[in-house]
Chains A and B, each alone.
Chain A
Amino acid sequence: MIARVRQSFLAGWEPYSRRPFPTLLRVFIGRVFHGGGDSGASEMDVALGVVLILLAMPGVLVSLLLFEKYGSLIRWMRGDGVFDPFTAAIPDEYFFIVLSMVVTGAAAVWRWDALFLDRRDYSNIVPLPISLRRIFLGNLCAILFLAGALTLDVNAASLVLFPVVVVGSQDSLSLLIRFGVGHAATVILASVFSFFAVFGVIGLLMAILPYSLFRRISLYVRFLIALFFLALLATNFAVTSFLAQLTRISKPAVTMLPPVWFLGIGQTLWGNGHNPFFAAMTRSALLALGISLAVAVLSYALSFRRSFIRLPETAEVGPLPRSQFHLLPSNLFDRIILRDAPQRACFHFITRTLLRSEAHLQIASAFVAMGLVVSAQSVASAFHANAADMLRSPSEDILAIPFILSFCIVVGIRLAFEVPSDLRANWVFALWIDPNTLQTRPIARKVLLTFSLAPLVPICFVLSAIFWGFGVAFLHTAIFAACTFAFVELLLLRFRKIPFTCSYPPFQSHSALLFVAYLFGFMIFTVYLPEFELWALADPWRVSLFVPLVAVILLSVQQYRKQMLDMDKHLIFEEISASGF
Chain B
Amino acid sequence: MGKQYETVIGLEVHVELATRTKIFCSCSTEFGKAPNTHTCPVCTGMPGALPVLNKQVVEYAMAIGLATNCEITKVCKFDRKNYFYPDNPQNYQISQLYLPIARNGYVEIETGGTKKKVRIHEMHMEEDAGKLIHDEWDDTSLVDYNRSGVPLVEIVSEPDMRSADEVIAYLEKLRMIIQYLGASDCKLQEGSMRADVNLSVREAGTEEFGTRTEMKNLNSFKAIARAIEGERERQIELLEEGKAVVQETRRWDDNKESSYAMRSKEDAQDYRYFPEPDLVPIVISGEWIEQIRARQPELQTEKMERYKKEFDIPEYDAKIITSSKHMADIFEAASAVCGKPKKVSNWLMVETLRLLKDRGMEPEEISFSPENLAKLVNLTESRAINSSVAKEVFEKIFAQDIDPEIYVEEHGLKTVNDEGALEEVIRKVIADNPKAVKDYHSGKEKALGALVGQTMKAMKGKADPGLVNQKLREMI
A and B: interacting chains: no
Residues of A within 8 A of B (CB): none
Residues of B within 8 A of A (CB): none
